[in-house]
């Protein structure tokens, strides 16, 4: 039994590579143009039709922008159209069809996104599913490429930025020159059984990420419900009697006052542009949300001529644009530009942790004030922030409320870290499995 492979041994070819024009690949893999795996390409059709009996059919039509929600099985927001009956015959989706976005994208998101049509997607649809003329349908040669593996392999190339190489801008729209991509880009194809094993490993991690996202979503919903209860009935074990105020019902013994009663507000002022540098000369600069992290800032510029400064522990609060109301905590002293304000608790009457939850609770109202001036560019002034009516309970009640919310906030942070670890694992395994560094 000299040729028998034991459970602890691997065949010699598992660790053997052969040279190709795109680098060494496992000897039992093939490097083929992407087009070689495609049996048929079908163009989409947005063409609407009037309600004309047998000549038109009511359908849902998938756009490239719908790919993320469709992948999650959420089809309620997919637009409905009456389309020509002939279009339905040619373009109705089938299991394992592959849809590719060929027009759209943005400054930060290239075209070429992919959607694999699963049984679950089709079963969740109440109407026939079609696709627009900004999307192409690929039907694969399934004797060469497993659809689930192909979907992951395409995403691997997409994340490497390969589709961006084949973009062409026309009248402000990004178009994906997919024909050139199919001819010029190579796909690494393991034997079909290994393709399926690779897909199974990666989908297992993706399912774990999706489950983790559900845990986070449930925790965030619990936090919203808890905030509603605490700011309406107080932090005590029993609901406090309430009174009606200009901001809604609040506990009877709570005061409603302007934010200035609880906090000092320092508006940012941008230093001279000539003082900016990325050599860490001077003091770190926070100009706006581009330098915000999940909780603490991540500066990318420094200034040798600082203007307004925040202190460590201050709340950094966006005051301009569509991110008005977004917050971070200053972990040290920063120079703050005009896109942010520093909000600091007045120690005798308030706490920073309470202020953070208070501002989060009022985020929608703050944004409404920012856009109320009629400008298309939201902006909130120091005077508007100072006069913003908010709840001002006693300092011990603030501490109790903030402590209760901090427990669930810590839970959310821990779950977010688990999700980030799973996402990092997925990216690492994707790279190693798709290149043959790890075999399954």
SS3 383: helix
Handedness of CA 387, 390, 391, 392 (dihedral sign): negative
Please, which residues have CB within 8 angstroms of residue 293's CB and are 6 or more apart in sequence? 328
What distance in Å separates the CA atoms of residue 274 and residue 268, rounded to the nearest whole number?
A: 18
The predicted structure's pLDDT at residue 372: 86
pLDDT number for residue 301: 94
Per-residue pLDDT tens for 12-29? Answer: 556 688 998 888 999 999
Per-residue confidence (pLDDT) for residue 84, from 0 to 100: 81
CA–CA distance, 363 with 192 (Å, rounded to integer): 52
Give all domains of the chain, ordered by start, each with its CATH number. 23-189 (3.90.220.20), 190-254+397-440 (1.10.287.1120), 256-392 (3.90.220.20)
Could you identify the residue written with the tokens 């059709």? 45
What's the pLDDT tens digit per position in 391-438? 999 999 999 999 999 999 999 999 999 999 999 999 999 999 999 999
Q: Which of 68-72, 168-172, 308-312 has the lowest mean pLDDT?
A: 168-172
Residue 293 has pLDDT above 50, yes or no: yes
Quick one: tokens of 400?
């109790």
CB-based burial label for 82 (10 Å; 0-12, 13-18, 19+): middle
Predicted confidence band of residue 137 (pLDDT cuts 50, 70, 90): very high
Q: What is the model's pLDDT at position 49?
A: 61
Sequence length of the chain is: 440
The chain-wide mean pLDDT, for the chain, equals 90
Are residues 138 and 98 in contact, defined by beta-carbon separation less than 8 angstroms? Answer: yes
Counting beta carbons within 10 angstroms of the beta carbon of residue 50, is it exposed (0 to 12), middle (13 to 18) or buried (19 or more)?
Answer: exposed
CA distance 240 to 97: 58
Mean pLDDT for the stretch of residues 332-340 = 95
Half-sphere exposure of 99 (CA within 13 A, CB side): 30
**Cβ neighbours of residue 380 closer than 8 Å, sequence gap 6 or more:** 319, 320, 324, 366, 369, 370
What is the percent of the chain with per-residue pLDDT over 70, rounded to a whole number? 92
Residue owning tokens 């719908």: 66
Flag whether pLDDT at 6 surpasses 60: no
Whole-number pLDDT of residue 2:
43
Helix axes 352-361, 395-435, angle to 10 degrees: 70
Q: Which residue has the higher pLDDT, 55 or 2?
A: 55
Reference 65, options 102, 29, 32; nearest CA is 102
CA–CA dist 290, 216 (Å, integer): 24
Asked whether the predicted pLDDT for residue 286 surpasses 50, the reply is yes
DSSP letters for 50-113: ---GGGEEEEEEE-GGGHHHHHTT--TTSPEEEEEHHHHHHH---TT-EEEE-EE--SSS-S--
Q: pTM of this prediction?
A: 0.82
Task: Specify whether the CB–CB gap between 353 and 359 falls below 8 A.
Answer: no
Tell me the per-residue pLDDT of 243-279, one tens digit each, with 9 for 90 and over.
999 999 999 999 999 999 999 999 999 999 999 999 9
Sheet holding 308-310, edge to edge: 276-277, 301-303, 283-286, 334-336, 308-310
């Amino acid at each position: 039994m000299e040729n028998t492979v034991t459970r602890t041994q691997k065949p010699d070819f598992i660790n053997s590579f052969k040279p190709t024009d795109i680098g060494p690949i496992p000897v039992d893999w093939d490097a083929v143009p992407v087009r070689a795996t495609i049996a048929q390409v079908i163009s989409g059709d947005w063409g609407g039709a009037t309600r004309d009996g047998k000549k038109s059919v009511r359908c849902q039509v998938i756009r490239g922008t719908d790919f993320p929600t469709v992948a999650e099985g959420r089809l309620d927001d997919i637009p409905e159209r009456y389309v020509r009956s002939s279009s339905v015959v040619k373009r109705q989706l089938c299991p394992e069809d592959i849809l590719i976005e060929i027009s759209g994208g943005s400054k930060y998101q290239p075209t070429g996104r992919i959607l694999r049509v699963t049984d679950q997607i089709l079963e969740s649809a109440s109407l026939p599913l079609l696709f627009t003329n900004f999307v192409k349908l690929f039907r694969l040669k399934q004797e060469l490429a497993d659809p689930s593996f192909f979907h992951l392999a395409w995403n691997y190339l997409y994340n490497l930025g390969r589709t961006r190489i084949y973009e062409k801008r026309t009248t402000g729209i990004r178009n994906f020159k997919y024909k050139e991509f199919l001819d010029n880009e190579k796909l690494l194809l393991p034997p079909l059984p290994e393709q399926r094993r690779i897909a199974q490993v990666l989908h297992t991690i993706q399912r774990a990420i999706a489950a983790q996202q559900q845990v986070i979503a449930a925790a965030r919903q619990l936090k919203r419900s808890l905030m509603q209860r605490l700011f309406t009935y107080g932090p005590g074990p029993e609901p406090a009697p309430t009174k009606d105020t200009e901001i809604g019902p609040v506990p009877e013994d709570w005061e409603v006052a302007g934010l200035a009663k609880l906090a000092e507000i320092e508006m940012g002022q941008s230093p001279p542009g000539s003082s900016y540098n990325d050599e860490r000369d001077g003091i770190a600069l926070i100009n706006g949300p581009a330098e915000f992290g999940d909780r603490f800032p991540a500066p990318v510029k420094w200034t040798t001529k600082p203007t307004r400064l925040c202190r460590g522990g201050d709340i950094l609060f966006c005051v301009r644009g569509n991110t008005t109301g977004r917050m971070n905590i200053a972990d040290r002293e920063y120079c703050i530009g005009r896109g942010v304000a520093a909000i600091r608790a007045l120690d005798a009457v308030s706490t920073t942790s309470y202020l953070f939850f208070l501002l989060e609770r009022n985020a929608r109202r703050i944004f409404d004030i920012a856009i109320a001036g009629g400008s298309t560019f939201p902006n909130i002034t120091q005077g508007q922030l100072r006069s913003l009516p908010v709840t001002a309970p006693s300092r011990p009640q603030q501490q109790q409320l903030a402590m209760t919310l901090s427990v669930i906030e810590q839970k959310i942070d821990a779950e977010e870290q688990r999700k980030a670890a799973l996402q990092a694992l997925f990216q690492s395994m994707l790279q190693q499995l798709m290149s043959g560094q790890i075999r399954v």
